[in-house]
Amino acid sequence: MTDELRARLRALPSFPAELPVFDPDAAPAEPEPLFLEWLDAAVRAGVLAPHAATLATDDDGGPSARVVILKDVDGTGWAIATPDDSRPGRAMAASGVAALGFFWPALGRQVRVEGEVRRADAAEAAADFLARPVEARATALVGRPAPVLAGDAEYAAARAAARTRVEADPGLVPASWALWRVVPSTVEFWQAAHDRAHLRLRYRREGASWMRERLWP
């Protein structure tokens, strides 16, 4: 990295001029309502892909992260989807744990979700898959005969074949498609402050209830 680029990066603003107010003492007793409130605020603020989350997993190859789309949040957990034969799918099936990270820079907010992973039943996974656009379903149906793609022509042919399968059978669902729920043991809410005295509130599960804890910035 050049000195000029390094200086330019340091000069970039980290947060918007105005930040929302967050009062941890007024937070609800459980994390889901607060998360949904923050998600709705991100939607209203025009944050691009506010439902995108970084999914972190660990396997024999080490830690790995990728961005996925949040499908639902309720008392059963934070729902995401990825095939069971993908790297994160294999990692979650083997370890039984995962973490999600949400970042909404326009509001200076982050949310971290960590906990156990449970796979939803086949009917729920099928409903999720069939709700996807046709092009997305075709992409998910493309076979992967080897880890490394030989070239664009190979992929184009495989995708065209998958699109034909989707059009011929609109109800087709690959057996590998999986819907996963991260059932949190901790959920942390982070609100930025211009003076860097950031606010951190963590919910920690204790049995059937939640403990709320303020964390050091």
Q: Tell me the C-alpha distance between 199 and 109, whole Å.
A: 10
Q: Which residues have a Cβ under 8 Å from the Cβ of 200 and sit 6 or more positions away?
A: 188, 189, 190, 191, 214, 215, 216, 217
Name the residue type at position 70: L
**CA-to-CA dists, residue 53 to 16, 97, 163, 200, angstroms:** 21, 16, 28, 19
| Annotated binding residue 173 | no
| Annotated binding residue 80 | no
Q: Tell me the C-alpha distance between 78 and 74, whole Å.
A: 7
| Annotated binding residue 8 | no
Q: Tell me the C-alpha distance between 187 and 193, whole Å.
A: 20
| Annotated binding residue 180 | no
| Annotated binding residue 47 | no
| Annotated binding residue 70 | yes
Q: Tell me the C-alpha distance between 159 and 178, whole Å.
A: 20
| Annotated binding residue 87 | yes
Q: Which residues have a Cβ under 8 Å from the Cβ of 202 and sit 6 or more positions away?
A: 186, 187, 188, 189, 212, 213, 214, 215
DSSP string, 188-209: EEEE--TTS--EEEEEEEETTE
| Annotated binding residue 200 | yes
Known binding-site positions for FMN: 66-71, 87, 110, 190, 200
Known binding-site positions: 66-71, 87, 110, 190, 200
